[in-house]
Amino acid sequence: MAEVREDLVTAYDRARLDARYWINIALGISTSVFDYFDYFVVGFLVAVLAPQWQLSFGQTSLILLAAGVGAILGSLAWGALADRFGRKALLVAGVTLCALSAGSVSFIPDGAWVAFAVLRFFVGFGVGAAASVAVPLIVEYTPTRHRTVITSATVIPVSLGILAASLSAATLLHQIGWRGLAALVFLPLVPALLIALLMPESVRWLVSRGRDADARRIVARALHVAPEALPPAVEGVSRAQGAGFSELLAERRRFWLTVIVWFGASTANYGVFLWGPTIVALLTGVSPIEAAHLFVIVSLTGMVGRVIFSVLPQWLGRRRCGAIMGYGIALSLGAAGLFFDRILFGYPAFVVLLVPAALLFDGGFSNIAPYSAEIFPVRLSARGVGLAQAANGVGKIAGPLCLALIAGTSNLITPKATIDAVTPAFLFLAACGLAIGLAFTLLGIETHGRPLALDAPQGDETAGTVVVSLSGEPESVVARPTPT
């Protein structure tokens, strides 16, 4: 077995998962939970304000779509800024922008729907910004031997933000009114402040930018040793100072892998949750409210899927799990579309088939969320995650538009599901799953057990690779080629 050459980053990779590490991870997760709370509480605000302010359908749609457009632009812009100026400061700025914009809704005058839409745009911008920074920061914090499980598991609590928004609206709306509910979303300012005070910068990003002295101080604190006792920084890294998207586009294999996987996953997930309850109501004859209650099972199954896809890549690897996700979505949603009017186990086949499908189209996000940060070298990582979040946002918008065209409706915002449209619509969603599976099969890059590349040569999938066994010990080492 080849000898592992010690450097500053590999020394940091041996750090224990102490209390400081878990506090940092908890703060990183909290930003996503709070951001999703901010992002989804608007649904309850609009439900109250639309009749009070006599908003038209178009005005309501603009308010809701503004955050989606903001998220796309925010993820792209903040990804580039985070690769240039660092993870910590940009994460604090993104969370702060999201909280201030969302909370400021509580101060707008009655009927000021334009101001509402503008603030929602900046809420979405902040959500996209924070997501494009928090994911690579958590991935870069975590030692290679634990990265696959821990970074996947951090996706599970994100749904708590949606749950918190629902519970807050259900229990507090009548007591504190819509302005009080909107003011609650100033709360993310607390974790933003704690991140600014407690969380260190990413060591890997500092080394990739040539800031070895700053990285050395953080590593010394993590390992409880004197800075001068640490080995030198990584050799053979170009320390490129650019942060343009031309570098991201140059990584064509990773670029298209990210776009296809995230667009397909978002379109399939959002399509099911958009049409699912309505189709269940049409098939069973129950009211939409009762159908929504039945659909809770699908949502809970998705949470179970996120747990499964947090553990499974540790055994099968990220690439194989991604393929399972894609092909599984294609089979389950395709079957749901073809056999929706049959009876299976005494229940409509459509409902039964959506349960295993949710394990994949929702649970699979635990695998692909950190993957988008892992496949790019550190100097491109935030831009890679920003690209993923942008494709995610486009999928959320394009999904309803495509379903509307399939259904033959003129309503492109909330297309009305009909029985005749179920089969072609769900075959389209199944095709999105097939695209995910093929992308992982043909373009996929395995990252499980391999250290993050700081500045890997384009197209080199084995640069600096250490394959780590399940016990956490390195099994083999492939030397990092020196860039020419």
Average pLDDT per consecutive 10 residues, the chain (484 residues; last block may be shorter): 65 88 91 76 77 80 82 91 91 92 90 90 89 91 92 85 72 82 87 92 89 90 85 65 72 93 91 72 65 69 89 94 96 88 75 86 92 92 92 82 66 55 86 96 93 64 39 38 35
Q: Does one domain contain both 237 and 259?
A: no
Q: Does one domain contain both 188 and 143?
A: yes
Per-residue buried b or exposed e for 92-104, using 16+ beta carbons within 10 Å of the residue's own CB: bbbbbbbbbbbbb
Q: Does one domain contain both 403 and 373?
A: yes
Which residue, among 52, 139, 83, 50, has the nearest Cα to 372 in the 3D structure? 139
Q: Show the tokens assigned to 365.
A: 């996000």
Q: What is the pLDDT of residue 360?
A: 92
Q: Could you tell me if residue 275 is inside a domain?
A: yes
Residue 7, number of CB atoms within 10 A of its CB: 18
**Nearest 5°: phi and psi at 343?**
-110, 130
Q: Could you tell me if residue 448 is inside a domain?
A: no
Q: Does one domain contain both 315 and 386?
A: yes
Q: Could you tell me if residue 88 is inside a domain?
A: yes
Angle at 33 between CA 198 and CA 415, to 5 degrees: 150
Q: Could you tell me if residue 476 is inside a domain?
A: no
Q: Show the tokens assigned to 482.
A: 């020196």
Among the three residues 243, 271, 288, which one is the final residue of a domain in this structure?
243
Q: Does one domain contain both 234 and 96?
A: yes
Cα 396 to chain centroid, rounded: 13
Query: What range does the domain containing 234 cover?
Result: 8-243
Q: Does one domain contain both 268 and 200?
A: no
Q: Could you tell me if residue 1 is inside a domain?
A: no
Angle between helices 189-198 and 87-103 (to 10 degrees): 160
Among the three residues 193, 214, 243, which one is the final residue of a domain in this structure?
243
CATH number at residue 262: 1.20.1250.20
Q: Residue 108 carries which side chain, given as an amino acid letter? A: I
Q: Residue 255 carries which side chain, given as an amino acid letter? A: F
Q: Could you tell me if residue 474 is inside a domain?
A: no
Q: Are 202 and 141 in contact (CB under 8 A)?
A: yes
Q: Are 451 and 13 in contact (CB under 8 A)?
A: yes
For residue 476, list its beta bridge partners.
Answer: 467
Q: Does one domain contain both 70 and 158?
A: yes
Q: Show the tokens assigned to 40.
A: 């989804």
Residue 362, number of CB atoms within 10 A of its CB: 24
**CB-count burial class (<10 Å; 0-12, 13-18, 19+) for 228:** exposed
Q: Does one domain contain both 434 and 341?
A: yes
Q: How many domains does the chain have?
A: 2
Q: Are 333 and 273 in contact (CB under 8 A)?
A: no
Q: Could you tell me if residue 116 is inside a domain?
A: yes
Q: Show the tokens assigned to 275.
A: 């049409």
Q: What is the pLDDT of residue 309?
A: 94
Q: Does one domain contain both 155 and 256?
A: no
Q: Does one domain contain both 233 and 267?
A: no
Among the three residues 243, 269, 287, which one is the final residue of a domain in this structure?
243
Q: Could you tell me if residue 57 is inside a domain?
A: yes
Q: Does one domain contain both 222 and 259?
A: no
Q: Does one domain contain both 102 and 211?
A: yes
